[in-house]
Structure 1
């Protein structure tokens, strides 16, 4: 004990410290004591257990009123309320703090629905110099904190970034809860990063200099650096679509992008020079995969709810024929010479071979159980097919149209991509991306990526972009191909479909069917 301060209040029931001030409450009165002098600078009318913060100059008390969903600014000298900040109907105020530089007060609240589920996070930022107020609203899709219980978020001293805990489900198919910390840019409420922790966060604290966030999750504490550079892969533009865009295809010259829209059963044509929709094809049946012939004259379309595939003439975007392949199709790939289209039929456990010159089925190749995706090597000699039910990848020799090899990959639900030099195949497995060396079909690397859906490789063969789904969001994982290490990760709002790399190497295109947008990402290859 180095000192004793008179409480000036008998039988007080609550005591808190705010900077240089001691706040002692009893009944509906709180005494404010200046700690260095031990003097009472004033009394305010507020419940004894109120959460409050005192301004650095000792002139104002900021008091939370939970029952009113508001914050009162009280002038201590005369106990008068000079401002009442209403946070919002149905909002529960649960935390308040002052920044280390004493310039801002942060009030945290969340809006609940009738079942007490969090619908929206709100942060009230009050500038102490003039009591000006700014309210930051964080949308529901960036919140998942009903179970298990989690600590309140923290805001950087400058108010530019909010750190909030988040829970998702590993792989999206089972119930293993994976905790993380979200970094939200408050200027536009965009999620700029998600950092996974090894345990359930119990407390977060920001350092006084604003450079680090400490995340306590029981047995260990993680340190998150704030002054790091944010991803070099950034969304530079979006194209608004209708009907939940899912599949994509790009012309060889990169001038046009074809987009398959699930809900409207259409194919949209986008001019990439100005990202404008310039054409459309109707009368399709849930298009799920697209493949352009090398000369760009025809587009082949697979349908999720039809035994037929459609052939579209790109000069006028008209359907010139449909081909009954004898089963629902999930993917299409066309040989580099433009002579054959290989159509994956998941319920038949086969791949139909269509001769493009007359659009006739000339062969049917048996593969593993539940084939999902197909990719053809650049020399056209082989086709790799991922089989979800049998947890295998089938290798087809296109010269004889037979499966010549089959090797295990755990539940490959996503797509396959082959490097431009044909040396490696990247397979989206269940909980990993498997790298296959095509010379001997050996596994050279397993990259830990939960629930990958699609893989796209840049034209220079240096990077693989992997699209993985996670609740309301999608995460894009960037892999450096020479050493197969993850070099970047970034998030996109809503669920996404196919991802492709522009042939000029400058942009990555992602079909955002949850947001009804095509996301255009400046690729790491062009940085």
Structure 2
């Protein structure tokens, strides 16, 4: 009888795990059981320049293939183009059977079956949606429409928009309290975060953001805290997840602070913050907010997500076309997994595949896995000094998308990136892009063209060198950073 009872208990636990992907890790509740890492789990990465979703087996830390949602340049310039553009945001259903993928450039959210990797439906929304996530009961998907001033509420079964929640202009991302009572919606254009009652979709509180640009937000599994990042100032702000939602503290995390998430471990609950300008992830205690570790991970870390048991944190490396897997017991990187171009949001979905190989409808990365990586260093810096700027040239065939994660400059000043005739920046300089640094002296700068052919040319007459200079294209000033390799 005792053995039978134990067997029944084990079977019940197994069935519970098979029925849900929600674990005792974010975005789940601390009361949910952890789900050990297995080959049934999947890590997904939304990749904005290859317009793909990479699918990874975390047991082997191996790329299984990509789901192609769109085409690269210049195909997606066509007026007859029907695919998705700038695949960026991501969320998943509590049962683990569906992921919702947001494409900023085509104003859409695509629903994908995790068992077959097949698109179920695509819903088109307003201008520049950014992130999507399911309510904890799985009945609705809320999508922040960052190019406008509302959150779109989508029915999870019909995939139709059923409501709009008015917010301050530019809602960046929303996440829900583990009990499903509140939605926390930060802004990318206004220094104001709103708390919404999920039941009646009404704003019940506002929280002042210390600066306008919040790209990411996370709620702790125990329901006590909300952390959100401020990319423009390189800070992370924390407030009480329950009424009256008072501010707790703000941490200087570093230039190009991107995403934040939590891992519950036997040693406690810790916050992991990706800091793009440092090419690192910082780890903080959630009781006294002490910084515990700085983990070098690779170029321009972006999305962050825990495994179903908190043993690992996965990090998307935007300018390295890879995911880094961090062991939370040692806070060391244990694997790098190649993925598509410029991974943004990532999700770890426990029990995403219930049966079968789960590799249907996946294709090899192809050109999505091709990129050239360069660095720029401060002019006059000694060999071995940390290069403050990394550059990726994402291959799109004959052209590349150029992306530079620029740091180490003066805040709120105009600069340009250009192609110089000489390695030291002398001679004529052809500007590629102009930009103004944020308050942390950093910026993400993009351009497009046949740049790889110039910076890697073997012909000294046609070879050009990337530089950053003060001023604008019309009034260029002193060159301050040079191509290092």
Which bin holds the TM-score, normalised by the shorter protein?
Answer: 0.5 to 0.7
Q: Distance in 2 between matches of 1:495 and 1:423?
A: 29
Q: Distance in 2 between matches of 1:272 and 1:387?
A: 32
Show the counterpart of 1:176.
Answer: none
RMSD: 2.4
The question of whether the paired residues in 2 share the 8 Å contact of 1:420 and 1:459 is answered with no
SS at match of 2:339: strand
Offset at residue 322 of structure 1 (A): 1.0
* 1:377 corresponds to 2:220: yes
The question of whether the paired residues in 2 share the 8 Å contact of 1:434 and 1:447 is answered with yes
SS at match of 2:95: coil
The question of whether the paired residues in 2 share the 8 Å contact of 1:414 and 1:454 is answered with yes
Q: Which runs of 5+ in 1 are unaligned?
A: 1-230, 517-527
Q: Distance in 2 between matches of 1:425 and 1:322?
A: 31
Offset at residue 289 of structure 1 (A): 0.6
The question of whether the paired residues in 1 share the 8 Å contact of 2:96 and 2:352 is answered with no
* 1:397 corresponds to 2:240: yes
Q: Distance in 1 between matches of 2:184 and 2:123?
A: 22
Larger radius of gyration: 1
Query: Compared with structure 1, are the counterparts of its residues 515 and 285 closer, same or farther at alpha carbon in structure 2 (3 Å cutoff)?
Result: farther
Query: Compared with structure 1, are the counterparts of its residues 389 and 469 closer, same or farther at alpha carbon in structure 2 (3 Å cutoff)?
Result: same
Q: Distance in 1 between matches of 2:122 and 2:196?
A: 25
* 1:310 corresponds to 2:149: no
Offset at residue 505 of structure 1 (A): 7.5
The question of whether the paired residues in 1 share the 8 Å contact of 2:126 and 2:148 is answered with no
Deviations 1:376-401 (A, max 9, x none): 00121110111223322111102221
Deviations 1:309-347 (A, max 9, x none): 111111211111112201102111111111111111132
Q: Distance in 1 between matches of 2:344 and 2:126?
A: 18
* 1:490 corresponds to 2:328: no
Offset at residue 475 of structure 1 (A): 2.0
Show the counterpart of 1:259.
Answer: 101
The question of whether the paired residues in 1 share the 8 Å contact of 2:175 and 2:183 is answered with yes
The question of whether the paired residues in 2 share the 8 Å contact of 1:368 and 1:393 is answered with no
The question of whether the paired residues in 2 share the 8 Å contact of 1:458 and 1:505 is answered with no
The question of whether the paired residues in 2 share the 8 Å contact of 1:480 and 1:487 is answered with yes
Q: Distance in 2 between matches of 1:499 and 1:386?
A: 16
The question of whether the paired residues in 1 share the 8 Å contact of 2:302 and 2:343 is answered with no
Q: Distance in 2 between matches of 1:298 and 1:456?
A: 21
Query: Compared with structure 1, are the counterparts of its residues 364 and 279 closer, same or farther at alpha carbon in structure 2 (3 Å cutoff)?
Result: same
The structure whose RCO (Cα within 8 Å, separation 6+) is larger is 2
Q: Distance in 1 between matches of 2:189 and 2:126?
A: 20
> Number of aligned pairs?
281
1:273-422 correspondence runs (5 A):
273-369=115-211, 370-399=213-242, 400-420=244-264
* 1:427 corresponds to 2:268: no
Q: Distance in 2 between matches of 1:239 and 1:346?
A: 28
Q: Distance in 1 between matches of 2:61 and 2:219?
A: 28
Between Structure 1 and Structure 2, which shows a larger proportion of helix residues? 2
Q: Which runs of 5+ in 2 are unaligned?
A: 1-58, 70-82, 370-485
Offset at residue 503 of structure 1 (A): 2.2
Q: Which residue among 350, 353, 357 is the counterpart of 1:503?
A: 350
Q: Distance in 1 between matches of 2:68 and 2:248?
A: 44
Q: Distance in 2 between matches of 1:497 and 1:371?
A: 15
**Superposition TM-score, scaled by structure 1 size:** 0.50
